[in-house]
Amino acid sequence: MGVAVYVPLLAALLLGATADPISRVLPPATATRALTAAAVVLSAATSFVLGVLAFTLLGRLRPVAELGRWSVASLSALDPVPQGVAGLACAAVLVLGARGLRVGLRRCRATLAVRALCLRLGGEPGQLVILDDDADDVYALPGARGRIVASRSLLAALPAAERRAVLAHEAAHLRHHHHRYRAATELAVAVNPLLRSVVPAVRFATERWADEEAALTTGDRAVVAHALARVGVRRHSPPDPSGGWRTLALDVTDSGTVARVQALLAPPARRRPAALLPLAILVAITVSASVEAQRDAEHLFEQARPAPPVSAVAVASSST
Amino acid sequence: MPADGEATRRDRGALENEVLASLAAGAMTPRQVLGQLGGHLAYTTVMTTLARLHEKGAVTRESSGRTFTYALADRSSVQARAMRRSLDAAPDREQVLARFLDELDPADVPVLRRLLRREQAR
């Protein structure tokens, strides 16, 4: 088997190393979509090639070989992948599969907790719910029937324009379903830890996206910057170790507040479609390498099959 | 056009949230809310938004002279309203009430008794 099978792993390493700068260079909505899509494709591709590598070892087990009708001896003789590598791939498939399952289940549980909380809070989807808490806090509870939640003290402390900016920011989170991008990248990273840095990068990009929407609503980028700074200083949200609804809440200031304030005070970023090119090339190379790896594997197992008797070939060809 | 309808609905939601948030500082007349929110709104818009919020039970209002003073509904009145609404929707009120009492947390019974006594004394 050629080197194609290792290319997706390399690509994932590369995306992991560049996700953070990408999230800062591209316009936030583009960065969010591109990073999420790339992470999903790359994690699918790495899962696939890990599966292929693992199968070169599994294929040597007698029951599997009998089922596939290839010879264990000739498969071992062709020796496509070092046994150690194939063994590692087997272990990785098991561990990463379990991780993906765990992250997915945790996500489902948190989603149910958010839904229950929304019901308890009352009101309509997208509506602001004001809590009489002492702690200053504001966040969006995601989902089609999500809510915006804010403490009375924080709202009362903000000037009207900044309050508007904060509400517009949270409404943008809900309107553009930012939690879906976060869920997709979290799952992708669960099955491919090489992509780890994509999660904070997408988190940052979605926050910037909501900031820019708020700037459009208020018509003043500086107002959004001031609101962010003020909320960042005042906000106090208790951590939620239980993995409940809080893990899904979209907070105003939970990612890179300083960088976001700077971005808002700078002139708006120009669109640079060319910056997408490296990412597109990376994804294209990964996909074609995965296809190549699949062909390689098919060829390998084909070779390991004993040649069919001539009569069988004659029957097969005459019947077509 | 459906896109337009979507946009208006979204704007209305945003406006309701803005008006609601401005009441966080305390009870206000529509005029005061308008002053808080600044020049981008018309007085009648604020009036209708407050009326809609009142209809939804998100704010309470008290008449003061020729106008109303609006305040955030506290959470208990929002929740009480939800309970009443579901009771109103029931075909057989008495049966629902009876079932509700049946399944009441025992700790809530003395509270309910005290509240009923207070209500009778009035």
Q: Is A169 on the interface with B (CB under 8 A)?
A: no
User: For chain B, which residues lie within 8 Å of any Cβ of chain A, measuring from their own Cβ?
Assistant: 10, 13-14, 16-18, 20-22, 24-26, 36-38, 56, 58, 72, 74-75, 78-79, 82
If asked whether residues B31 and B88 sit together in one domain, one would say no
Q: Supply the pLDDT for residue A132.
A: 82
Phi, psi of B71 (to 5 degrees): -140, 155
Q: B82-91, pLDDT tens digit by residue?
A: 777 788 888 8
Q: Is the CB of B25 less than 8 angstroms away from the CB of A171?
A: no
**Own/partner long-range contacts of B62-69 (Cβ < 8 Å, ≥24 apart):** B62/B27, B64/B29, B67/B29, B67/B30, B67/B31, B68/B29, B68/B30, B69/B27, B69/B28, B69/B29
Domain residues for the domain of B28 are 2-72
Domain boundary among B72, B87, B111: B72
Domain limit, last residue, from B31, B51, B72: B72
What is the 3-state secondary structure of A26-61?
CCHHHHHHHHHHHHHHHHHHHHHHHHHHHHHHHCCC
ipTM exceeding 0.85? no
pLDDT band at A237 (very low <50, low <70, confident <90, very high): low
Question: Do B18 and A175 make contact, defined as CB atoms within 8 angstroms?
Answer: no
Same structural domain, B57 and B68 = yes
Same domain, B37 and B86: no
Question: CA nearest A283: which of A51, A47, A2, A11?
Answer: A11
Crossing angle of helices A198-218 and A257-265, in 10° steps, is 40
Residues 219 to 278 of A: which have CB under 8 A from any B CB?
Answer: none
Supply A59's token pair. 């294929």
Query: B50 with B80, same domain?
Result: no
* CA distance readout (Å), A128 to A160, A218, B59, B76, B115: 15, 18, 12, 16, 31
B110 lies in the same domain as B54: no
CA atoms within 13 A on the CB side of A146: 24
Q: Tell me if A127 and B78 make a contact (CB, 8 A cut-off).
A: no
Q: What is the pLDDT of residues A247-275, one digit of tens each?
A: 778 877 767 888 999 999 988 877 777 88
Say whether both B16 and B55 belong to one domain: yes
Report residue B118 as tokens.
């207070």
pLDDT at A246: 77
Question: Between these two residues, A274 and A127, which has the higher pLDDT value?
Answer: A127
Chain A contact set for B76 (CB, 8 A): none
CA gap A235, A253 in Å, rounded = 8
Out of A180-194, A272-286, B107-121, the most confident range is A180-194
CATH number, domain with residue B67: 1.10.10.10
> Which residues in chain A are closer than 8 Å to B14, comparing Cβ atoms?
167-168, 171, 217
**Torsion sign, CA atoms B2, B6, B11, B17:** positive
In this structure, are B16 and B42 located in the same domain?
yes
Q: Does B79 share its domain with B48?
A: no
Give the A:B interface size as CB pairs under 8 Å: 58
Residue in A122, A130, A168 closest to B24 by CB = A130
pLDDT at A290 over 90: yes
Distance (Å) from the alpha carbon of B12 to chain A's nearest alpha carbon: 10
- Same domain, yes or no: B64 and B85: no
From B72, B89, B107, the end of a domain falls on: B72
When divided into structural domains, chain B yields a total of 2
Q: Please indicate, yes or no, whether residues B53 and B107 belong to a single structural domain of this protein.
A: no
How does strand B67-72 pair with strand A250-251?
A: unpaired
Cα B67 from chain centroid? 18
Question: Domain check: are B16 and B31 in the same one?
Answer: yes
Residues A206 and A181 sit within 8 Å (Cβ to Cβ): yes
**Position A308 confidence tier, pLDDT thresholds 50, 70, 90:** low
Give the span between the Cα atoms of A197 and A95, in whole angstroms.
20
Task: Say whether both B61 and B20 belong to one domain.
Answer: yes
Among B8, B12, B15, B17, pick the best mutation site for testing chain A contact (most A Cβ within 10 A): B17
Residue written as tokens 């893990």? A247
* Residue from the list A131, A132, A163 with its beta carbon closest to the beta carbon of B21: A163
Specify the residue for token string 């075909």: B91
